[in-house]
Structure 1
Amino acid sequence: MADETLAAEMAQRVEELGYEMVELEQAGSRARPILRLSIDRPDSKPGEPAVSLDDCSRVSRALEPWLDQREGLSDRYVIEVSSPGVERPLTKPRDWDRFAGAEVSVKTRVPIEGRGKKVQGTLVGLRDGERVALQVDGDEVEIPLGEIERGNLVFRWERGQKR
């Protein structure tokens, strides 16, 4: 779990650069912290390339001077900036509306409607800001946002698609 203050400040700086922070993971040690930052474009769509290596480099270079001056962060930190990938995590409430129509996988804290803790289906969207609606095997399933441990887009290779 990342330091919430650091995460909020990084998210703001990433947004000022024209991207959105998907996730921040803190790893390593206090003496040599590793900051793994996943970024995306605010208008990205499932299955479309969104973030390039140049984008990741740009964000990394822009954050380094700020991180160099950050109180309480070892000067031996490592920052790794990457794309969220084709199976992008859904980390913010707005993601559940933004990617409506896409196939998603959801892991919950408790079993949902006799389906277990892992549910996969087509994302309908976020209802009343608190329940994620999915189409699963012809049924609509609603999952309280607070019960979701992790959610992500599902990518399927299509026949004939280059790998």
Structure 2
Amino acid sequence: MSDLESIIAPVVVDLGLDLESVEIIGQAKHRRLVIAVDRDGGVGIDAITQATRAVSAVLDASDAMGETPYTLEVTSRGADRPLTAPRHWRRNHDRLVHVTMADGTKVTARIGDSDEDGVDLLRGGVPTRYAYGDIERAVIEIELNRKDV
């Protein structure tokens, strides 16, 4: 965990949120500090507003970002980010996912039950268990019209 993350994480956790990522984008006067948060049930605008105020206050009280101006952006995790933690799978239960396995095999399926070790992916309603260690990349497909797989 970076120094910046160690300053931000306790503030975010106190608000009942998970800190998903901290990124500094750009340089000099055009820097943006982008913080992605999430929680069970999703993150609404009120939670984003609270997190922005709380993180801004803790950063203002520290010298973590230095003297150079920056823009603070607190955002939700976003559906286009890869699933990388067990909580991501749990929060996306029953959604369609594109998975690339470590051996290169590609699977498109619905997310079924998941736990700390792996996930059931359903194709035609039939679950197949996959260990997270066997999954190289997984991304949710945004569905406008739900289809069975």
TM-score, length-scaled by structure 1:
0.65
Q: After TM superposition, give the deviation of residue 142 of structure 1 in Å.
A: 3.8
Alignment partner, residue 78 of structure 1: 71
Question: Does structure 2 retain, via aligned residues, the 8 Å contact 1:39–1:51?
Answer: no
Alignment partner, residue 65 of structure 1: 57
2:44 is the counterpart of 1:51: yes
Structure 2 unaligned segments of length 5 or more: list them: none
Question: Does structure 2 retain, via aligned residues, the 8 Å contact 1:11–1:21?
Answer: yes
Structure 1 unaligned segments of length 5 or more: list them: 45-49
Alignment partner, residue 130 of structure 1: 117
Q: After TM superposition, give the deviation of residue 86 of structure 1 in Å.
A: 4.6
Q: Using the aligned pairs only, state the percent identity.
A: 27
User: 1: CA distance between counterparts of 2:35 and 2:144?
Assistant: 26
Matches within 5 A, 1:140-155: 140-155=127-142
Alignment partner, residue 25 of structure 2: 27
> What RMSD over aligned residues (CA atoms) do the two structures have, in Å?
3.2
Q: Which letter maps to 2:141?
A: V
Q: Which letter maps to 1:57?
A: T
For residues 109 and 84 of structure 1, do their structure 2 counterparts lie closer, same or farther at Cα, with a shift above 3 Å needed?
same
Question: Does structure 2 retain, via aligned residues, the 8 Å contact 1:33–1:74?
Answer: no
Question: Does structure 2 retain, via aligned residues, the 8 Å contact 1:25–1:36?
Answer: yes
Q: After TM superposition, give the deviation of residue 31 of structure 1 in Å.
A: 7.4
